[in-house]
Amino acid sequence: MAVEIKVPSVGESITEVFIGEWYLKAGDWVDMDGNIVGLETDKATFDVPAPQAGIIKKILKEAGSTAQIGEPIALLEPGSAPAGKGKTSASPVPAAAAAAKSGSSSSEPAVMPAAARVAGQQGLDARQVPGTGPGGRILKEDVERQLQSGSNGSAGTAREKRRVPMSPMRQTIARRLVEAQQNAALLTTFNEVDMSAVKRLRAQYQDSFVARHGVKLGFMSFFVKAVVEALNVYPQVGARVDGHELIYTNYMDIGIAIGAGKGLVVPVLRNSERLSFAEIEKAISNFAQRAKENKLGLEDLEGGIFTITNGGVYGSLLSTPIVNPPQSGVLGMHGIVDRPVAVNGQVEIRPMMYLALTYDHRVVDGREAVSFLVRIKETIEDPTRLVLEV
């Protein structure tokens, strides 16, 4: 008897989800706890595992549609693994990847799920794209390369327009960005910071840090520490408006913006003021991995009094970040570039980074905002101050 795969409950306030990507199709085998489909809400994405082993009998909700909590979205026919089907791990690779790994003799090329998703969004037949992956599998990069070349895999196709529904997460991102612009008096102040001291520390202690803590010492932990120090001196930057009142906290819950592929997510480092450098780096690494695997929960994303975003990892030299409502401030980090600067009357080449602080002018005056950013600059350029708290 077929088992209904239903949309699980993902939070008290969530009543509807968006069907993101089906990892399997009707007729595919799945082991118990193998991921079947990726679902999205306005705040997070997550996978739905198979409650038991069997064959996907029917998909009831197509990708791009919506479903209510508790609504059946697929039917699973329980059974024993067919001949030739090996057991997979608790998070098995999608069917296309499994076929490629097993050396399937099918004449049809193996299309990886990410490649299929990008191709579908662009109206491209992924099967017509030359695959460069192991066993000839078609990767996301192959599809993107094909699209950049201006070819869609078939000759003579007319120009066309496509309508692709925005996912709940993308809709929420758009709505919150517009709300931030409309409901807050946003202003951005800039500065630059010499990263020489931090780079020297990382180079000197990186091996010891990794050996002891099992994680690399990155730049973000220095900036989290610097933000905590600056918030201690200028707490209004971490306050928020609630009606005709300002709310201050005695804890430093700092949001760290992470690109999750389907949209920017901002998981929160709780009580950052209590965390060591290693604890911060481990937490951020964990957030990034879980975001990649669609395993961040709503509890990871809620709250936060201030946000740090690093556009430098994507090559950004300078930008004006937008605050994450209802917060009143966001720090934008950017790329580190060797530039000539004046040092003690001499021109030297230093690794420089532009910093941007966007703040809600209703809460924070210009003097406090500029001083806050200068405080961050001072502690980054002389990181021993983070240890001595001076």
- Which residues are part of the catalytic machinery? 361, 365
CB 254 within 8 A of CB 191: no
Q: Give the Å distances, CA to CA, from 351 to 90, 168, 192, 341, 354.
A: 44, 40, 10, 10, 10
